[in-house]
């Protein structure tokens, strides 16, 4: 029987049979693997510990043997240093040198060095064949030693040079010509002479260019007869490989196991595999095997170029290292090693046999698992086929599975479930069809309601793509039916770049709003209102949401809506045509400006009349006056009245000129506020006012000066009229959080609370008929809102009024709500 498409397209997976076989394998294989791993780890650990202890013991024994060989050689060399003949010869040399002056001593040294370097036959013979040289040669050959202390042949073959120097470092006797004449500047001579105190000195391993081999040296001081002062040095040069190989190379075990000698810098002194003078390949290994106490370590490399983990035993040559530490600061260490392959071969052999038996056990487990799985899986597959038939409603035959266990009980339960499903699903099809018709009706009704709204409405998805536009949108913007999945908002609305950027920022803020706010639990309280209802300009509006599309001005609002299942949140944009309203408000502002100019002109006429009448009176007085001094006095008064009139005219001319410059410039808020105060006092009378001002330094902002002055003048005029020209008027300015705050307070009767929310409405006034237009505060609020600011009005009846004007500090740009 063919499987449904969802079964055929299902990815390959483990069947129940495979899982049962796998479970049996895991149950049997896990203990087997754990046993193998534990046996391997335990065997490896025991072998490491046993071999580590053995390598440590072997390294310690090798170090002891090498220490004896070196100690014996130092003892033989000390016999040369203590020989009476050599001591007397050096004492005589000391006495002869000490009586010479320093220049004479240097001349003698220079002459002798020249003879030695030139290989003067007589001088060379005296040094290499004299009495002291013969004595040195006897010590070299071992003839001066007792029979039971005969010199080993290997030691004699390893000695490449043997000579004696006096207390100035000059050569006295040598067994060959390989020695330099002057050695006072050599580290070994300075170390052995030790400023006349004397001490043994063993030099580091170094390559000798003349001899062509790696050498190390032993230097001992020659003390005078009373052993008070060093009078010379015995210096012996050894071929390191020839000297040390007889002790280290015979120590071999297995195919790769051996012992070697290194110093604390990792330099090889003697090794059967590595050449003398090379350093260990792994610098991290050196501090592990150069410890002061004997031991063994599991090292990350073998020191011979391999990177396998190795077991290494090590030990320090105690006596020799005591001398080398005092000489060069380095210690000598033995190093015992065997390759990991050879070391762990028994464990690997055991692991191989255990693995073979494990594979046999796994095969048996697989066979048993297959038999058990077949007996379990066959009836379960039958149940699976029955369930598939039930899902398609195609089961027409009874279920017969007889296993005598839980699988048979499951088959009976499935049969009962099938009978219940047939009863439950009998009327389901009719219910689904009815619900589908209801959903389609609701969707059609919603579209008809939105099409009946006269305001353009556009629904957007979270990618700002257009999902729906109502009939008003299509009629207003002359839009046709569009493919909603391929059109963006800005393809429908011809907007300028600043407006697009503002809409995009507001849209992103809505889309990225936290989930708890979308679920109706906002972090800040919000006022719920109808997005289609017109809005009155409020006291705290931070900016007018307007768009300029063609020649029309639209006020817009965003709202959120739940999308279809799987589509996420939808965002709605409502546009309301406010072109006529905006034009009316602009006309009101212009009318208020003209009205202010009329008041200003009346005040200026009043200001000019007083001095003009004075001038006329003084002119008539001059006509009848005969006293020349009195005439001059009248003339001076006329000049003062003329200056007063000129000042008034000049101030008026400056204001009128500023009125004609309807463009943004750098504006000083304090200056505009002060000018508005003077104009208000001039126009409305201010003789009985007590004016207090406190202007703080403010940043300049870009604005049209006369618009800001108009705002201040309207508010100050209201305060002066409310106080009837008498009372306290306070003006304060400050800069705060990117805003300029202008505070105007009066001591008038205040504004009743029911009127406080209406003061910015056009034509609203509390004055009597003919006393005011009700446009002053409306115009002021309109101008400040245009610049992105707002006005706050606080008042309590009988306690005066406080007005705060908040203006953002803008750069050179257009006011908010206006396009470029």
Residue 561 has pLDDT above 60, yes or no: yes
pLDDT per residue over 261-275, tens digit each? Answer: 999 998 999 998 889
Residues of the chain with pLDDT > 90: what percent?
18
**Residue 315: band (very low, low, confident or very high) from pLDDT cuts 50, 70, 90:** very high
Task: Please report, for the domain that includes residue 466, its CATH number.
Answer: 3.30.450.20
User: Which among 325-334, 554-563, 749-758 has the top mean pLDDT?
Assistant: 325-334
User: Is residue 513 located within the same domain as residue 594?
Assistant: no
Q: Judge whether 75 lies within some domain.
A: no
Residue that finishes a domain, picked among 207, 234, 261: 234
User: Is residue 705 located within the same domain as residue 761?
Assistant: yes
Q: Judge whether 525 lies within some domain.
A: no
Task: Please report, for the domain that includes residue 724, its CATH number.
Answer: 3.30.565.10
User: Is residue 650 located within the same domain as residue 567?
Assistant: no
Q: And the tokens for 478?
A: 């002359």
User: CA-to-CA distance for 469 and 477, rounded, in angstroms?
Assistant: 11
Residue 529 has pLDDT above 60, yes or no: no
User: Is residue 750 located within the same domain as residue 790?
Assistant: yes
**Residue 221: band (very low, low, confident or very high) from pLDDT cuts 50, 70, 90:** very high
Q: Judge whether 632 lies within some domain.
A: yes
User: Is residue 420 located within the same domain as residue 550?
Assistant: no
pLDDT per residue over 594-617, tens digit each? Answer: 666 665 666 566 567 767 766 887
pLDDT per residue over 273-307, tens digit each? Answer: 889 999 988 888 889 898 989 999 988 887 777 78
Residue that finishes a domain, picked among 451, 475, 490: 451
- List C-alpha distances in Å: 108 to 32, 95, 113, 168, 406: 88, 14, 9, 11, 117
pTM above 0.95, yes or no: no
**Lowest mean pLDDT: which of 49-53, 553-557, 579-583, 681-685?**
681-685
Tell me if 158 sits within 8 A of 242, measured CB to CB: yes
Residue 206 has pLDDT above 50, yes or no: yes
Tell me if 262 sits within 8 A of 237, measured CB to CB: no
**Residue 763: band (very low, low, confident or very high) from pLDDT cuts 50, 70, 90:** low
**Lowest mean pLDDT: which of 553-557, 611-615, 744-748?**
611-615
User: Is residue 352 located within the same domain as residue 423?
Assistant: no
Query: 161-191 burial, b if ≥16 CB within 10 A, otherwise e?
Result: bbbbbbbbbbbbbbbeeebbbbbeebebbbb
Between CA 148 and CA 155, with CA 151 as vertex, the angle to 5 degrees is: 150
Residue 200 has pLDDT above 90, yes or no: yes
Q: Judge whether 252 lies within some domain.
A: no
User: Is residue 596 located within the same domain as residue 744?
Assistant: yes
Q: Is 642 exposed, middle or buried (0-12, 13-18, 19+ CB in 10 A)?
A: middle
Tell me if 229 sits within 8 A of 223, measured CB to CB: yes
User: Is residue 688 located within the same domain as residue 553?
Assistant: no
User: Is residue 558 located within the same domain as residue 432?
Assistant: no
Q: Judge whether 306 lies within some domain.
A: no
User: Is residue 598 located within the same domain as residue 569?
Assistant: no
Q: Judge whether 157 lies within some domain.
A: yes
Sheet containing strand 688-695, edge to edge, reads: 688-695, 726-736, 739-746, 801-808, 790-795
Q: Average of pLDDT values for 761-773?
A: 60
User: CA-to-CA distance for 604 and 742, rounded, in angstroms?
Assistant: 27
**Lowest mean pLDDT: which of 111-125, 152-166, 518-532?**
518-532
Q: Average of pLDDT values for 520-545?
A: 45
Nearest CA among 723, 711, 731 for reference residue 779:
711
Q: Average of pLDDT values for 707-733?
A: 86
Q: Average of pLDDT values for 12-26?
A: 68
pLDDT per residue over 618-629, tens digit each? Answer: 787 788 777 888
Residue that finishes a domain, picked among 190, 209, 234: 234
Tell me if 78 sits within 8 A of 199, measured CB to CB: no
User: Is residue 137 located within the same domain as residue 22?
Assistant: no
- List C-alpha distances in Å: 134 to 59, 127, 131, 157, 350: 40, 10, 5, 18, 66
Nearest CA among 167, 176, 191 for reference residue 116:
176
More confident residue, 651 or 473: 473
Count the domains in the chain.
5
Q: And the tokens for 283?
A: 């610098």
Residue 637 has pLDDT above 90, yes or no: no
**Residue 522: band (very low, low, confident or very high) from pLDDT cuts 50, 70, 90:** very low
User: CA-to-CA distance for 622 and 634, rounded, in angstroms?
Assistant: 7
User: Which among 375-384, 540-549, 569-578 has the top mean pLDDT?
Assistant: 569-578
User: CA-to-CA distance for 507 and 88, rounded, in angstroms?
Assistant: 110
Q: Judge whether 768 lies within some domain.
A: yes
Q: And the tokens for 761?
A: 């409405």
Residues of the chain with pLDDT > 70: what percent?
80
User: Is residue 89 located within the same domain as residue 220?
Assistant: yes
Q: Judge whether 103 lies within some domain.
A: yes
The two beta strands, 552-561 and 726-736, are: unpaired
**Residue 238: band (very low, low, confident or very high) from pLDDT cuts 50, 70, 90:** very high
Nearest CA among 142, 121, 168 for reference residue 73:
142
Note down the domain range covering 709. 590-808
Quick check: helix, strand or coil at residue 260? strand
């Amino acid at each position: 029987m063919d499987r449904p498409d969802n079964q055929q397209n299902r990815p390959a997976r483990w069947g129940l049979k495979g899982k049962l076989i796998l479970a049996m394998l895991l149950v049997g294989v896990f203990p087997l693997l754990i046993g193998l791993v534990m046996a391997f780890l335990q065997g490896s650990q025991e072998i490491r510990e046993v071999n580590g202890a053995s390598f440590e013991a072997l390294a310690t024994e090798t170090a002891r043997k090498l220490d004896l060989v070196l100690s014996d050689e130092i003892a033989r060399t000390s016999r040369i240093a203590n020989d009476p003949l050599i001591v007397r010869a050096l004492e005589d040399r000391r006495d002869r040198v000490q009586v010479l002056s320093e220049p004479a001593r240097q001349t003698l040294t220079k002459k002798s060095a020249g003879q030695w370097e030139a290989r003067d036959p007589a001088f060379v013979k005296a040094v290499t064949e004299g009495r002291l040289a013969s004595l040195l040669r006897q010590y070299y050959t071992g003839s001066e030693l007792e029979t039971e202390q005969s010199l080993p042949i290997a030691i004699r073959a390893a000695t490449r040079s043997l000579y004696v120097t006096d207390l100035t470092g000059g050569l006295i006797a040598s067994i060959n010509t390989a020695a330099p004449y002057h050695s006072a500047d050599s580290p070994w001579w300075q170390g052995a002479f030790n400023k006349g105190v004397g001490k043994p000195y063993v030099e580091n391993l170094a390559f000798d260019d003349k001899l062509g081999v790696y050498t190390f040296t032993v230097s001992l001081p020659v003390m005078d007869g009373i052993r008070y002062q060093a009078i010379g040095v015995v210096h012996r040069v050894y071929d390191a490989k020839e000297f040390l190989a007889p002790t280290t190379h015979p120590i071999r075990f297995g195919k790769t196991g051996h012992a070697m000698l290194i110093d604390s810098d990792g330099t090889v002194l003697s090794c059967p595999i590595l050449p003398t003078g090379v350093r260990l390949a792994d610098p991290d290994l050196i501090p592990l095997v150069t410890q002061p106490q004997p031991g063994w370590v599991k090292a990350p490399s073998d020191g011979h170029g391999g990177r396998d983990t190795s077991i290494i035993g090590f030990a320090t040559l105690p006596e020799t290292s005591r001398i080398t530490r005092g000489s060069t600061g380095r210690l000598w260490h033995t190093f015992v090693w065997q390759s990991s392959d050879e070391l762990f071969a028994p464990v690997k052999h055991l692991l191989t046999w255990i693995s073979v038996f494990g594979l046999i056990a796994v095969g048996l487990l697989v066979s048993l698992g297959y038999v058990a799985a077949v007996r379990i899986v066959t009836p379960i597959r039958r149940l699976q086929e029955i369930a598939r038939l039930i899902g398609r409603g195609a089961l027409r035959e009874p279920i017969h599975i007889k296993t005598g266990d839980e699988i048979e009980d499951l088959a009976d339960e499935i049969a009962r479930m099938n009978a219940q499903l047939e009863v439950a699903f009998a009327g389901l099809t009719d219910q689904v069809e009815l619900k589908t018709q209801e959903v389609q009706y609701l969707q059609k009704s919603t579209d008809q309601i939105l099409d009946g709204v006269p305001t353009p409405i556009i629904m957007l998805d979270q990618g700002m793509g257009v999902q729906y536009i109502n009939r008003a949108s299509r009629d207003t913007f002359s839009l046709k039916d569009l493919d909603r999945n391929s059109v963006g908002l800005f393809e429908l609305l011809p907007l300028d770049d600043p407006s697009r950027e503002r809409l995009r920022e507001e849209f992103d803020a809505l889309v990225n709003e936290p989930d708890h706010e979308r679920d109706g639990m906002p972090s800040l309280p919000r006022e719920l209102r109808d997005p289609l209802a017109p809005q009155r300009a409020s006291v705290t509006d931070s900016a007018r949401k307007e768009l300029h599309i063609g020649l029309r001005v639209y006020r817009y609002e965003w709202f959120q809506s739940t999308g279809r299942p799987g589509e996420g949140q939808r965002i709605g944009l409502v546009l309301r045509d406010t072109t006529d309203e905006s034009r009316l408000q602009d006309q009101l502002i212009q009318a208020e400006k003209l009205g202010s100019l009329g008041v200003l002109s009346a005040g200026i006429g009043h200001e000019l009349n007083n001095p003009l009448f004075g001038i006329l009176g003084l002119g008539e007085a001059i006509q009848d006056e005969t006293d020349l001094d009195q005439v001059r006095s009248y003339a001076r008064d006329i000049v003062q009245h003329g200056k007063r009139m000129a000042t008034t005219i000049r101030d008026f001319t400056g204001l009128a000129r500023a009125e004609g410059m309807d463009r943004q410039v750098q504006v000083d808020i304090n200056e505009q506020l002060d000018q508005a105060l003077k104009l208000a006092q001039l126009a409305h009378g201010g003789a009985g006012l007590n004016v207090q001002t406190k202007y703080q330094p403010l940043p300049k902002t870009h604005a049209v000066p006369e618009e800001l002055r108009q705002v201040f003048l309207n508010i100050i005029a209201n305060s002066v009229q409310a106080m009837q020209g008498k009372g306290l008027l306070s003006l304060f300015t400050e800069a705060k959080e990117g805003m300029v705050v202008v505070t105007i307070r009066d001591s008038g009767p205040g504004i009743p609370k029911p009127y406080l929310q209406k003061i910015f409405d056009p034509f609203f006034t509390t004055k009597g008929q003919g006393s005011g237009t009700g446009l002053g505060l409306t115009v002021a609020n309109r101008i400040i809102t245009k610049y992105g600011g707002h006005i706050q009005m606080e008042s309590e009846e009988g306690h005066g009024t406080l007005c705060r004007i908040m203006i953002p500090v803008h750069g050179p740009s257009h006011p908010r709500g206006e396009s470029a």
